[in-house]
A and B are shown apart, each in its own frame.
Chain A
Amino acid sequence: MGERAYRGDDTTGFQSPAQDHIEAVPDLAELLELRRPQRFAVRVKGDGLKKRGIHSGDILVVNTDAEPRTGKVCVAFVHGDVVLAVLTEKDGRWWLEPSNHAPQPVADDTEVWAMIAALVRTDV
């Protein structure tokens, strides 16, 4: 960072023709709706959902207010663990399919915490 904030507007010699047109860089927090109360960012650990395009180290932006939908990936609390799982509905019951073990019914000690809304990857 320089000695002062210069944004393309405030030149010392010739007046900048851009001075009335200065815009900020795109705001990704806005795109990802990170300021909304139902949006939370979480960090993925493990490559179990690589077939769904989700890699270890990715940041997922999740929505705690979204309707659960069959076939969608969600964040769930399962027996004290925070896991990523595919949500499915079979015969009117909801099931969580974590990649590493058998489907679990959504019951007392399991909770669908949020549905995945967006993905951020910085090590492409």
Chain B
Amino acid sequence: MFGLIDGNNFYVSCERAFDPTLAGKPIIVLSNNDGCAIARSAEAKALGVKMGEVWHLSKRRPEFRGIIAKSSNYALYGDMSRRVYEVLTERFNRVEPYSIDEMFLGLTEFARTDYCRRVRDQVRRVTKIPTCVGIGPTKTLAKLANRRAKKVVAMEGVCDFSNDDARRQAFHEMPIDEIWGIGGASQAKLNNLGIFTVEEFAALPSASVRELMTVTGQRTHAELNGVSCMPLTMAPGQRKTVSVTRMFGRPVETWEDMREALATHAARAAEKTRKHDLVATAMQVFFHTSPHAPEPFFNAQRSFEIEPTNDSFAIIRHAVTAGRSMWRPGLRYQKAGIILPDLHLAADAPRDLLPTRDPERSEKLMATLDGLNSRFGRGTIRPGGIRPKTAWGTRANNKSPAYTTKLADLMVVHAL
């Protein structure tokens, strides 16, 4: 049996955990660069803030006046996610962290509604994060039960679909877009055929689902009917790409600023590559102006192969050289990015017969760089040409402290 536990408005709950002034107020958390709403408290949802709402366009609307918009604080959310995971591993043998705010659980036959309700209380007490739990014989059913637990207050945060009768009744009322993996095009397709509820979808013959929605849809359909097709996966699959792309805090107009942005993104991409013991064999570099600006849109992009490496200096050099060759002055650039699209395990990477760098020396230098940065904080040691604070840096105007990971940022407790 599977469980799915997820944090209610997770990012908002992380903010509220350390700031009692946020209780009961409409709160949203904005994406990188303070762009769009990516988490909303119940109060903010009630005021009509949509997921993905572009905040700088909407914030002046009179009904949104009282909303508190926080910049995203991923150092905090990541650590809180870890804490939730650790509490769960004390209560369940198998926990799969599926995303930062949802974990699949392997449930024994004794762990049902009451047990999950106690775990939910414990997660709340220990981490301050309110959650909901869905239970079902497949991942898709556990996820669907979780949706229902969120919606139906009387369930007190836990919905159990392990029993066939219990779920049949709910299926009748639930629209198909509540199903994990169904939305957009597939929803429209099904609606056109007069299929609106989970009950109607589950009753379709398997073969016609395959015809309509390929194998993925067929798998979803089987899981809804209680046939488990997706086991718990305990380790993430090997990463195949790394991308570091950012909107600028304000438009970049000089090559010096662009060069530095590309170097910073390249250094971060190289660091991520090393973290997974991978090497890059190809690279994409791009930057573009705003598609919404009155001036014509300009988009520069290059893809090319590189000698297999995860050396920050090599990757920076490639990025800057490619960027320079595409640079066009006199424009206002809005975004730049580095993508390493073809990663291989360092151990089985193709070795050049005549490498242009001493691989052993590079490996040692990079290990030192990563060691210092992990010990003293990201950015302690930076390849030349990357300044600690920059004009183009990402906007984060209302970011809370890194309460749980930085000594300078600890929650202050008043003893007056």
- Give every chain A residue within 8 A of B86 (Cβ-Cβ): 36-37
Of A37, A38, A42, A65, the residue contacting B413 (CB under 8 A) is A42
- Give every chain B residue within 8 A of A54 (Cβ-Cβ): 415
Q: Is A94 at the interface (CB under 8 A from chain B)?
A: no
Query: Chain A interface: which size bin?
Result: 20 to 34
Contact indicator A42/B126 (Cβ below 8 Å)? no
- Give every chain B residue within 8 A of A106 (Cβ-Cβ): none
Interface members, chain A 29-88 (any B CB < 8 Å): 36-38, 40-49, 54, 56, 59-60, 64-65, 75, 77, 80-84
User: Nearest chain-A residue to B124 (Cβ)?
Assistant: A64
Q: Is B60 at the interface (CB under 8 A from chain A)?
A: no
Contact indicator A84/B415 (Cβ below 8 Å)? yes
Contact indicator B413/A83 (Cβ below 8 Å)? yes
Q: For the complex, what is the distance from the CA of A43 to the CA of B127, rounded to whole Å?
A: 18
Q: For the complex, what is the distance from the CA of A37 to the CA of B128, rounded to whole Å?
A: 11
- Give every chain A residue within 8 A of B21 (Cβ-Cβ): 80
Interface members, chain B 266-306 (any A CB < 8 Å): none
Q: Is B384 at the interface (CB under 8 A from chain A)?
A: no
Q: Is B407 at the interface (CB under 8 A from chain A)?
A: yes
- Give every chain B residue within 8 A of A1 (Cβ-Cβ): 372
Interface of B is mostly: helix
Contact pattern, B 375-416, Cβ under 8 Å of A = 1, otherwise 0: 000000000000000000000000000011001001111111
Of B87, B127, B410, B415, the residue contacting A56 (CB under 8 A) is B415
Q: For the complex, what is the distance from the CA of A56 to the CA of B416, rounded to whole Å?
A: 10
Q: Is B65 at the interface (CB under 8 A from chain A)?
A: no
Q: Is B56 at the interface (CB under 8 A from chain A)?
A: no
Interface residues of B (CB under 8 A from A): 20-21, 23, 82-84, 86-87, 122, 125-128, 372, 403-404, 407, 410-416
Interface residues of A (CB under 8 A from B): 1, 36-38, 40-49, 54, 56, 59-60, 64-65, 75, 77, 80-84, 98-100, 111, 113
Q: A1-B372, A38-B87 are in contact. List 14 more A-B contacts (CB 8 A).
A: A37-B83, A38-B126, A40-B403, A44-B413, A45-B414, A45-B415, A46-B414, A47-B415, A59-B410, A81-B414, A82-B414, A83-B416, A84-B415, A99-B416
Q: List 11 A-B contacts (CB under 8 A).
A: A1-B372, A38-B87, A40-B403, A41-B410, A42-B412, A45-B414, A48-B414, A48-B416, A54-B415, A65-B125, A100-B416
